[in-house]
């Protein structure tokens, strides 16, 4: 878990957290020795303890979750500890220890049949940071995704076996158990192992920001697991009373653990990246450097007025710093949540999805454009899908190679035009026909002959004429006390709340073909109360799902600055231009926009 500035209503959050109910759980030394040799793993919860644990009620549409073998989770922890030992005692994100950890987890998942992707963190991460690792079980409804994540990196001072080998290993064994049992799936399950969490949640931030709005909307909930085996720990749940948390709470309630809200971890682990994007989140934790209260020690056992994890961010965070009882209860709760949300008794009907990329093309008469038509099995078994297209005007032809695919495969679509094809923009409908039929669209622009007439395309770019045609948080537009316009009297004031918030303004325009250049200019004033040179609050300029520019509180200065972006790649396309400001939990940053223009020439 990363150390991070937290602010609530302008004050630093200072709380003492509760710890989880562990009957005589092993504890670490209050004053750990530097670089102790790895200790043997704490004992596994006896079989008799399992017999005393009631099985939570299962919904009629799901099957019982398995009892995950905690000894197998501990075996993964032993390997992560060995990896750290071979690499200077650490698995920090920029080191070989982290890359070897990724390779270990990846090899297990690939052998089990997962679709595995390494995502390099190309912006915002520490220099040399390794990739995120994403694994998806390729069954279930692809439009309904439940995601489970944990950071795989450690601090530089130690191997990070509780922080956060515990969460990483628990997710790995849960994923392998899912693959082994191979139940019918009602929804997709995706796992993420994040890089560079200890440097500021950077890997998960990068992953979430790289998702399109459509892909974000598919993620119905994200569950985070960071430090789930603390030796003096407690049973904490993120957003304890939320809808997302209910399966997790239901399982721990069945063990009479009386979990508490994870206040210590709020905003300090990777769930915060998803939470900022509007995705429901929850997760388990057992505490870090905060101290257990007397009431919590009475309720859960352990030692009052002592850190939940006395080896937090230290070299003694080895396999000897693991509470096997808490680890076992956590991993079984993870499995319970996954099975309840995504597994079903019934065999789902065969279905597939259909998509075209790119979804637009611009050509001169007599030339052609290509795009990839992708299919995926969203439920049931793979099936044969026949591809066709309609809506092509005279002089335009569409062909597919191959014309028939098995869902999960792709085809190359070629859109050809004759020299007599009339200039204009046309919507083609691409159809996939199998046991069911799905369609998607492709927008073709046939360029016209002749020169370019330069023009300014944005309407009401100075915000002087009401709010139309801007959409989004149009209440940001006006003449407000505390800020001034670049010209005229009105402007768009995005952010400035001093609390978690997002403001966006969008306008859709068509950039005509025939011109060689399109340039966006806008005037931006940034002021902030942030004092650290860290990008807590951001301002982004996007076209569709592509981010063209990112600024932050670190760019604050007196007065307005004119910013310029080249939009020439979008000539001949209809685009949605969006300004978005996002603030974190405290200390305001205002992003004030005025006199925006999109000029062709």
What is the distance between the alpha carbons of residues 498 and 594, in angstroms, rounded to a whole number? Answer: 22
Phi, psi of 267 (to 5 degrees): 75, 5
**Beta carbons within 10 angstroms of residue 47's beta carbon:** 7
Beta-strand relationship, 491-495 and 589-600: antiparallel
Q: Which of 512, 373, 535, 489 is nearest to 438 (CA)?
A: 373
Q: Coil, strand or helix: which one is 247?
A: helix
Tokens for 250? 């239901």
d(CA 290, CA 117): 35
Torsion, Cα of 417, 419, 424, 426 (10° steps): -20
Q: Between vectors from CA 199 to CA 272 and to CA 285, what angle results, nearest 5°?
A: 45
420 touches 335 (CB < 8 A): no
Tell me 185's DSSP state. B
583 has catalytic annotation: no
CA 208 vs CA 132, 153, 213: distances in Å: 11, 18, 10
Query: What residue has token string 């950039």?
Result: 511
φ/ψ (deg, to 5) at 341: -85, -35
| Tokens, residue 251 | 């399982």
343 has which bridge partners?
Answer: 185
Using an 8 Å Cβ cutoff, are 409 and 432 in contact?
Answer: no
Describe the crossing of helices 324-342 and 246-254 by its angle, rounded to 10 degrees. 130
* Token output for 383: 């099936």
- 219-225 and 115-119: which strand pairing? unpaired
DSSP 3-state assignment of 117? strand
Contact 248, 284 (CB under 8 A): yes
Six token digits for residue 299:
């309720």
Taking the CA atoms of the chain, what radius of gyration do you get in angstroms? 27
Catalytic residue (choose from 197, 260, 530, 583)? 197
**363 near 83, Cβ under 8 Å?**
no
Q: Which residues are catalytic?
A: 197
């Amino acid at each position: 878990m990363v150390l991070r500035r937290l602010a609530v209503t302008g004050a630093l959050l200072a709380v003492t957290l509760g710890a989880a109910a562990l009957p005589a759980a092993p504890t670490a030394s209050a004053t750990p020795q530097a670089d102790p040799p790895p200790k043997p793993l704490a004992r596994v919860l006896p079989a008799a303890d399992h017999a005393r644990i009631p099985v939570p009620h299962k919904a009629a549409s799901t099957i019982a979750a398995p009892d995950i073998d905690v000894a197998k989770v501990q075996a993964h922890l032993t390997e992560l500890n060995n990896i750290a030992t071979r690499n200077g005692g650490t698995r920090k994100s920029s080191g070989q220890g982290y890359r070897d950890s990724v390779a270990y987890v990846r090899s297990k998942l690939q052998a089990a049949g997962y679709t595995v992707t390494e995502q390099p963190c190309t912006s915002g991460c520490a220099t040399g940071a390794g990739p995120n690792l994403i694994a998806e079980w390729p069954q279930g409804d692809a439009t309904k995704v439940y995601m489970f994540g944990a950071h795989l990196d450690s601090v530089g001072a130690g191997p990070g076996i509780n922080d956060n080998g515990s969460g990483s290993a628990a997710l790995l064994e849960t994923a392998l158990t899912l693959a082994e049992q191979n139940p019918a799936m009602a929804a997709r399950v995706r796992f993420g192992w994040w890089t560079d969490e200890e440097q500021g949640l950077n890997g998960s931030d990068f992953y979430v920001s790289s998702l399109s709005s459509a892909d974000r909307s598919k993620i119905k909930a994200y569950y985070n697991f960071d430090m789930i085996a603390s030796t003096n720990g407690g049973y904490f749940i993120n957003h304890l009373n939320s809808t997302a948390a209910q399966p997790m709470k239901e399982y721990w309630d069945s063990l009479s653990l009386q979990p508490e809200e994870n206040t210590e971890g709020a905003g300090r682990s990777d769930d915060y990246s998803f939470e900022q994007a509007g995705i429901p989140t929850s997760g388990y934790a057992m505490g870090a450097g905060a101290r257990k209260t007397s009431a919590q020690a009475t309720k859960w056992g352990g030692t009052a007025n002592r850190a939940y994890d006395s080896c937090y961010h230290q070299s003694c965070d080895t396999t000897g710093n693991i509470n096997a009882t808490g680890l076992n209860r956590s991993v079984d709760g993870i499995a319970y949540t996954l099975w309840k949300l995504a597994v079903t008794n019934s065999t789902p009907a065969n279905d597939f999805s259909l998509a075209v990329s790119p979804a637009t093309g611009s050509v001169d008469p007599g030339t052609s454009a290509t795009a990839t038509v992708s299919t995926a099995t969203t439920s049931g078994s793979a099936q044969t899908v026949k591809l066709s297209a309609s809506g092509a005007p005279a002089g335009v032809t569409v062909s597919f190679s191959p014309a028939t695919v098995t869902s999960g495969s792709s085809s190359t679509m070629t859109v050809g035009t004759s020299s007599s094809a009339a200039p204009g923009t046309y919507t083609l409908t691409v159809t996939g026909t199998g046991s069911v039929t799905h369609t998607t669209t492709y927008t073709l622009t046939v360029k016209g002959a002749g020169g370019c007439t330069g023009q300014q395309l944005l309407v009401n770019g100075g915000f002087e004429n009401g709010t139309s045609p801007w959409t989004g948080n149009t209440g940001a537009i006006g003449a407000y006390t505390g800020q001034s316009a670049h010209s005229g009297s009105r402007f768009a004031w995005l952010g400035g709340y001093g609390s978690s918030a997002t403001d966006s303004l969008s306008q859709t325009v068509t950039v005509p073909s025939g011109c060689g250049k399109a340039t966006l200019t806008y005037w931006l004033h940034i002021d902030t109360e942030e004092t650290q040179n860290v990008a807590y609050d951001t301002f982004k300029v996007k076209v569709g799902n592509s981010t063209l520019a990112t600024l932050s509180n670190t760019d604050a200065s007196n007065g307005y600055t004119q910013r310029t972006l080249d939009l020439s790649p979008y000539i001949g396309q209809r685009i949605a231009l969006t300004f978005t400001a996002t603030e974190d939990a405290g200390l305001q940053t205002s992003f004030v926009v005025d006199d925006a223009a999109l000029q062709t020439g």
